[in-house]
Amino acid sequence: MPTVKELIDLYADVTGEPRTRVNQLARRLIDDGLMPKSRGSEIKQVDSASALNLLFAVAFADRVADAPAIARQIAGLRLMDDQNEDIITGLYEIFAIPPDSTLGEVSVVLLDPRVKAKCQIELVRGADEVFQATISITLAPEKAHEKFSFLKEFSNPRHKTAVVFDVIFSNGDIDRFFYRVYQIGFDGFSSLRTILPRSKLRMSEPTSEGSDG
């Protein structure tokens, strides 16, 4: 697991944001209890939820003071009301993710290094603090289809070796004339997996059948 300093260095390098800004955001999150605080020789390490809080703040906190509120809003996003029921089923049957989980909770599970499915997150900010997030999950279809027939609905003919489905979270309708987009791509998501600890949530067997290719 990384320390806060190591995570700051990683985010500054990967996102291109000035290290000073990332550091200031992290300090504000620490003060608000959203990241661990080290004391003296006791150096705390960062868990997945804390790493996500900093990532969300880096994405959309225009002022350092806004960091805790932005992190809480994005992490607390719920599944859209009109989300396909098969997607809800898939999250539970494949990843043991309960249907009432937040974006933060789902992301923590998908960041578990035991999960082999390729993932990316697109964050969108609209006017009046409206946010939307889409997690795209890519699975190897062969064994998954044997147990989860609903996945056939999400098969993409352009990707014959993969099944792709999107999980969408939101706290309102995005006005497309007023929005900003921030994306954590497949490579970035995988990089986070390599440094973060295992999730405390129960994992179901098919997580090992996801596609890394």
pLDDT digits (tens, 9 = 90+) for 168-180: 999 988 776 667 8
Residue 203 predicted with pLDDT over 60: no
What pTM was computed for the model?
0.84
Q: Is 62 exposed, middle or buried (0-12, 13-18, 19+ CB in 10 A)?
A: exposed
> Across residues 117-145, what is the average pLDDT?
84
Residue-level pLDDT at 19: 95
Sheet holding 163-170, edge to edge: 78-79, 163-170, 131-139, 118-125, 180-184
> Across residues 53-79, what is the average pLDDT?
95
Residue 157 predicted with pLDDT over 60: no
Residues belonging to the chain = 213
Helix, strand, coil percentages (3-state) for the chain, rounded to 5, are: 45, 20, 35
- Residue tagged 């003296």 (tokens): 40
Residue-level pLDDT at 158: 56
Residue-level pLDDT at 159: 55
Distance CA 204, CA 74 (A): 26
Residue-level pLDDT at 201: 44
Distance CA 117, CA 128 (A): 34
Structure tokens at 26: 């992290």
The domain locations on the chain are 1-75, 78-213
Alpha-carbon distances, residue 118 vs 32, 81, 112, 180, 193 (angstroms): 32, 25, 12, 24, 11
Q: 99 has which bridge partners? A: none
The pairing of beta strand 118-125 with beta strand 163-170: unpaired
Alpha-carbon distances, residue 89 vs 43, 119, 146, 148, 149 (angstroms): 40, 18, 15, 9, 11
Residue 204 predicted with pLDDT over 70: no
pLDDT mean across residues, the chain: 82
Phi and psi at residue 5, in whole multiples of 5°? Answer: -60, -45
- pLDDT per residue as tens digits for the range 75-129: 999 988 778 788 888 888 888 888 889 999 999 999 988 888 899 999 999 887 8
Residue-level pLDDT at 155: 59
Q: Would you place residue 213 in the very low, low, confident or very high pLDDT band (cuts 50, 70, 90)?
A: very low
Q: Would you place residue 210 in the very low, low, confident or very high pLDDT band (cuts 50, 70, 90)?
A: very low
Residue 205 predicted with pLDDT over 70: no
Structure tokens at 162: 């993969």
**What percentage of the chain carries pLDDT values higher than 90?**
42
> Across residues 189-205, what is the average pLDDT?
66
- Residue tagged 């989860």 (tokens): 148
Asked if 19 and 12 touch (Cβ cutoff 8 Å), the reply is yes
> Across residues 135-153, what is the average pLDDT?
68
